[in-house]
């Protein structure tokens, strides 16, 4: 009986040491991957990396991680326009089947899904900020974006008619969609400005706009977009996503 107790104590101690070693190893690996992603993507801050699954050490032996979560705050995504970028407030990605080298210098996920968010203030920068002629005597420009409910964006358009600025903006509900690497905002119906109506193409040159979002981390792509309370929420996905190397 005494020998059995001793054996149980030894098993418990060894198990505790294994768990401790496993957690220390995963913390080290998370730091290494985070540093590699920061350098690879040219990030200003170190991203959050969380390696899921237990035990970690057996995954290391197999050279593949089951599940890695990546979080990046304030990511500056390329827009393809004169070096301009657009700020993504919160990019979260869940990577599955991550194969890596022994020193974590390279890591590639077989698949990835995630979310990203862009504030209305940031998206507004892509709309026409300077008044543009809609029709003779009428100029207009987008001055605000907000949640229109039911997945719509409410677009505020300020107009000036015959030199007089209208006291209130005109509001239109718009649909937001993703086409390839581009977010598009398209008015559901066209407004009139002080009772003045213009040709559809002239009005849409003001109300409708688009924003290209390119070179997301690891080559993940835009999938879907929906209007939310504080901005647009974007779903992303990808395959053979490169975290490092």
Q: Between the ranges 12-16, 103-107, 191-195, 204-208, where is the mean pLDDT highest?
A: 204-208
b/e map of 16-36 (b: 16 or more CB within 10 Å)? Answer: eeeeeebeebbeebbebbbeb
User: What is the model's pLDDT at position 245?
Assistant: 59
Task: State whether the Cα torsion 102-24-75-94 is positive or negative.
Answer: positive
The Cα–Cα gap between 21 and 27 comes to: 10
Beta bridge partners of 210: 184
pTM of the full structure: 0.82
pLDDT in tens, 194-241: 777 778 888 888 889 999 988 888 888 999 999 999 999 999 998 888
pLDDT in tens, 158-191: 988 888 888 999 999 999 999 999 999 999 998 8
The Cα–Cα gap between 31 and 168 comes to: 52
198 phi/psi in degrees, rounded to 5: -125, 170
Task: State whether the Cα torsion 174-175-179-182 is positive or negative.
Answer: positive
CB 198 within 8 A of CB 135: yes
Confidence of residue 9 (pLDDT cuts 50, 70, 90): very low
111 phi/psi in degrees, rounded to 5: -155, 160
Backbone angle region of 195, left / alpha / beta, with phi > 0 → left and psi within -120 to 50 → alpha: left
**Cis peptide upstream of residue 4 (ω within 30 degrees of 0):** no
pLDDT in tens, 63-80: 777 888 889 988 888 877
Continuous segment of H or E residues that includes residue 114: strand 107-119
CB 145 within 8 A of CB 135: no
Beta pairing class for 182-187 and 209-212? antiparallel
């Amino acid at each position: 009986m005494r020998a059995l107790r001793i054996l149980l104590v030894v098993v418990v101690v060894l198990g505790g040491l294994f768990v401790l070693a496993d957690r220390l190893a995963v913390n080290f690996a998370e730091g290494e991957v985070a540093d590699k992603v920061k350098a690879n993507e040219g990030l200003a801050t170190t991203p959050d990396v969380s390696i899921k699954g237990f035990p970690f050490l057996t995954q290391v032996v197999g050279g593949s991680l089951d599940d890695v979560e990546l979080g990046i705050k304030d990511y500056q995504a390329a827009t393809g326009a004169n070096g301009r970028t657009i700020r993504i407030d919160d990019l979260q990605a869940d990577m599955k089947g991550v194969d890596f080298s022994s020193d974590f210098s390279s890591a590639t996920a077989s698949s990835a899904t995630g979310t990203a968010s862009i504030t209305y203030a940031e998206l507004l920068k892509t709309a026409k900020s300077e008044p543009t002629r809609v029709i003779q005597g009428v100029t207009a420009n987008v001055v605000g974006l907000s949640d229109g409910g039911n997945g719509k964006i409410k677009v505020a358009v300020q107009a000036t008619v015959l030199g007089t600025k209208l006291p209130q903006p005109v509001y239109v509900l718009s649909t937001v969609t993703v086409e390839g690497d581009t977010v598009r905002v398209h008015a559901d119906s066209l407004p009139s400005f002080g009772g003045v109506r213009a040709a559809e193409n002239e009005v849409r040159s003001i109300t409708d706009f688009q924003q290209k979002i390119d070179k997301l981390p690891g080559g993940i792509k835009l999938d879907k977009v929906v209007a939310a309370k504080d901005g647009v929420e974007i779903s992303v996905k990808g395959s053979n996503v490169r975290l490092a190397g």
